[in-house]
Structure 1
Amino acid sequence: MESKNKFKLFLLGLNSESNNDVSVIAADIREKETIIGHYRSRNQAVSLKKETAYSTKDFLSFSDILKKFMTDHSIASVSKIAIAVPGPVIRGKSEPVRLPWKLDAEEIKKDAGVDQVLLINDLEASAYGIECVEESQFVKIHDSVVFTPGNVVLLAPGEGLGEAALFYDGNYLRPFATEGGHCEFSPRTNDEVEFYSFLQKIYGIVSWESVLSASGLFNIYRFLRDVKMQKQPEWLTAEIEADNFCHAVIQGALENKDRICTMTIETFLIFLAREANSLVLKMKATGGLFLAGQIPVLLEPFINNKKFYKNFIISDKMENILQDIPIYLIKDEKTILNGAATYAAFYQE
């Protein structure tokens, strides 16, 4: 898929003729489902040919899912495989805490009979995938008055809290993974200290992922319900039992249906703005902040207002930098898959 935005990534093998018309498989592994796509590289871009989602827990290994996908679509052979995993990748291996199995690139290479198998952190893959996003899939939350090219950061709360950055070398952006979501959460107000104590009894160490994720959203909710004694409506009890909490509480806030829904979302957005602020400052990301993932997309009406931005620019000394950072919401749901395919297709040692 040809990039139609101005995101300029560094891809070492982009101009190599050996990477043209290459068969690539990309995978986006998640706790509940694994999405696999078959791509072809052509004219310095990747094109999706086949895609299927599988229940992660139904398979004993990634290799089993891969075999199923190749059989389902009668794919005889591929040149490269890139697997986006929700966790750190160290020397071609990964043990994501939310997955039922470990991943080893060398073992998968042997099982699949493929020359090149690459493991990549899912948010790093998403950073590569931004280049493939159509302009219509970007929602501008805030524009800079005077744009300063520089580093870029990506923040994506979903099943976990993903954070990645892209280093600006003066010409290109170079994605890299972080594990910033596992840094410790720090409270600011008395109510937040109470919230921290509530979570500390559950987790011991309270990370930002315990606050900004699907489980984090529920943590905020149950603190308001169990500690602040906000009433849980009967309709939401049914949604929780049906494992549909995130969609339900966000919709409840959008419709102003119940006070506890509104309070939950408002609290989540304050924390989202604060962690976005920290990530931008740590990486000096004058090139922009990109929000991605299922939760921010559902929260678009709340993020795309002045309240989120006002919370984002709060700082002791850096408001002059923060107020001029461009902020975008990415609505494309395939950035991880497309990014993994792009990484594989044009990867070169």
Structure 2
Amino acid sequence: MANAYDHYPFPILIGDIGGTNARFSLLADAYAEPKEFPIVQTAKFATIDEAIQRVVLDKTSMHPRSTILAVAGPINGDEIPLTNCPWVVRPRALIDNLGFEDVVVINDFEAQALAVASLGNENQIQIGRGSVLPGHSKVVLGPGTGLGVAGLVHALNAWIPVPGEGGHVDLGPRSVRDEKIFPHIEQIDGRVSAEQILCGRGMVNLYRAICAADGVAPAFSDPADVSNNGLSAENAQAAETLSLFATYLGRVAGDMACVFMARGGVYLAGGIPQKILPALQRPEFRAAFEDKAPHSALMATIPTFVVTHPLAALAGLSTYARTPSQFGVATEGRRWRK
């Protein structure tokens, strides 16, 4: 864990590295506003080292001494491959070749969890009823390229992010309509996980399954086309896709709220929730979230939010970089020093 005396040397390079895009900002000191750099596609650079050099180091005279990176991939050893990108993060190479003194690498949804610890009302939209209880656990779900999940627990005067693989829990049918649709959902080794439905490709999977159940040919193969036609209700199957997507997301969000007793709120991050906000504001999401008998009355008190901050992960990492003692981020095996 980071201790009160264990601060990172400024300037600090902050990086949010996903499968498709990389986002960077530079923090001059604990009081400065982050200097943001253009969002770049990972496919345009052979390595993360090249991206940092060309996007950041070549564009500023302020050379960072530390870097804190959030990556979409498992962190195990001195070579960290990204799940949906050919980049491999090699902290020792960053120290040797780019001049860093201190390198920390954490999970991308830990960064999202760090963000919700300090988000203001201007960066979130509440869906439905319920009130945040200060100091109580929170949960972040991120339907985007995949489905990320992380918890945030308050203990020992610090916020402790809890990463995991909650996006891979089972998701099954409950209603008569579900029973007609789920046989057409693509399975992985005999099961349907939440991520098979609650992400970009999952939305297309769900749409195709609805079309198959209705005996019609799919008209769309891109998530944006499904969501746009669903929001406009110009296509009946796309409209039902959004309705059921909201329902299933509500079920999983409610499950995670139960796991963490998240009376500090459940937060929907990732790329999809903002884009389908009108669908999430309809009754289906919140009704499914609260439908957890025998605890429906308790679930009604837990608030749900859509995160609207455009760079939430970077904001969370910046807050952590300024005041690491306020967060219980485990750095063992994830921190390298010169």
Whether TM exceeds 0.5 here: the answer is yes
Give 1:3's aligned residue.
none
Structure 1 pair 92/152, CA: closer, same or farther in 2 (3 Å)?
farther
User: SS of the counterpart of 1:254?
Assistant: helix
Deviation at 1:203, TM superposition (A): 5.9
Deviation at 1:332, TM superposition (A): 0.6
Structure 1 pair 19/100, CA: closer, same or farther in 2 (3 Å)?
closer
Q: Does 1:265 align with 2:253?
A: no
1:71-124 Cα distance to aligned partner (Å, 9 max, x none) = 431345212111111133235653332121332333333332211111111111
Count of aligned pairs between the two proteins: 326
User: What TM-score, normalized by structure 1, do the two folds share?
Assistant: 0.83
User: SS of the counterpart of 2:185?
Assistant: helix
RMSD: 2.7
Identity among equivalent pairs (%):
23
Matched residues in 1 for 2:75 and 2:209: separation? 34
Structure 1 unaligned segments of length 5 or more: list them: 1-9
Matched residues in 2 for 1:248 and 1:317: separation? 38
Q: Does 1:165 align with 2:130?
A: no
1:42-84 Cα distance to aligned partner (Å, 9 max, x none) = 33xx522131222212222211111112343134521211111
Matched residues in 2 for 1:18 and 1:129: separation? 19
CA contact (8 A) 1:144 1:325 kept: yes
Deviation at 1:177, TM superposition (A): 1.2
Residues 331-340 or 182-191, more deviating: 182-191
Matched residues in 1 for 2:216 and 2:158: separation? 49
User: SS of the counterpart of 2:33?
Assistant: strand
**Corresponding letter in the other structure for 1:220:** L
Structure 1 pair 143/263, CA: closer, same or farther in 2 (3 Å)?
closer
Deviation at 1:139, TM superposition (A): 0.8
User: SS of the counterpart of 2:250?
Assistant: helix
Give 2:12's aligned residue.
24
Give 2:54's aligned residue.
68
Give 1:59's aligned residue.
45
Deviation at 1:194, TM superposition (A): 5.1
Structure 2 unaligned segments of length 5 or more: list them: 326-330, 332-338
CA contact (8 A) 2:8 2:321 kept: no
Matched residues in 1 for 2:189 and 2:310: separation? 30
User: What TM-score, normalized by structure 2, do the two folds share?
Assistant: 0.86
Give 1:221's aligned residue.
207
CA contact (8 A) 2:208 2:218 kept: no
Matched residues in 2 for 1:281 and 1:80: separation? 38
CA contact (8 A) 1:92 1:119 kept: no
Q: Does 1:144 align with 2:130?
A: yes
Matched residues in 2 for 1:146 and 1:154: separation? 14
Matched residues in 1 for 2:131 and 2:119: separation? 24
Structure 1 pair 106/321, CA: closer, same or farther in 2 (3 Å)?
farther
CA contact (8 A) 2:142 2:270 kept: yes
